[in-house]
Amino acid sequence: MAPSSKSKGAAVKEMEKSDDINDVPSFSVENIQHNMKIVYYCRTFLSIVAGSIAGVLGLTALSGFLCYFVIMLLASLGLAAKTKFDVHSFFDSWHRVVFDGVSQEFMSFVLFWSFAYDIVHIF
């Protein structure tokens, strides 16, 4: 089932990756994958919510896309805050937290945006 206990409302459980060698950073792959799953799950949820918001507000064209990126940015900030801004001890690079999953969830955003927009404004 979906990791419901790890939703963004409740405590997001993220695990440390072991970083015990001073010369060579070593990663615990399972923990990184687990953290990435959490990021992905948050983004999926938020893209649906963002689509509904954009549709209900009646945003069109550029402002709608802007809404998506703003919400994704807020998500990244939230995730970074959850790691107490020490992103490197939870992920292998900060690109993951900010950029990963944004383009994958874009289609879901467009779908729910169109859906909400049509239901509220056209019909």
Partner 1 sequence: MANDLVLDTAIRDWVLVPLSLVMVLIGVLRHFVSKALQSSPTPDPKAFKESQVVIRARYLRGAANYIPLKAFRMRRTYYNNEENGLLHVPKGQAQNMQAQMFSDPNMAMDMMKKNLSMIVPQTLTFAWVNFFFSGFVTAKIPFPLTQRFRAMLQNGIDLSSVDVSYVSSRSWYFLNLFGLRGLFSLILGEENATDDTQRLMQTQMAMQMGGLGADPAKALGAEKDGLDLIQHDWVLPKIEQKAEVVLRQFLDH
Number of shown-chain residues binding partner 1 (CB under 8 A) = 37
Contact flag: residue 103 with partner 1 (CB under 8 A) = no
Closest Cα to residue 47, out of 31, 14, 70? 70
62, 81, 25, 36 alpha-carbon torsion, rounded to 10°? -60
- List the x/- string, 21-50, binding to partner 1 by CB under 8 A: x-xx------------x--xx--xx-xx--
Rounded to 5°, the CA angle 53-55-58 comes to 110
Instruction: Give the torsion sign (CA, 53, 59, 62, 63).
Output: negative
Residues 52-71 that bind partner 1 (CB under 8 A): 54-55, 59-62, 64-65
Contact set with partner 1 (CB under 8 A): 1-3, 21, 23-24, 37, 40-41, 44-45, 47-48, 54-55, 59-62, 64-65, 104-105, 107-115, 117-119, 122-123
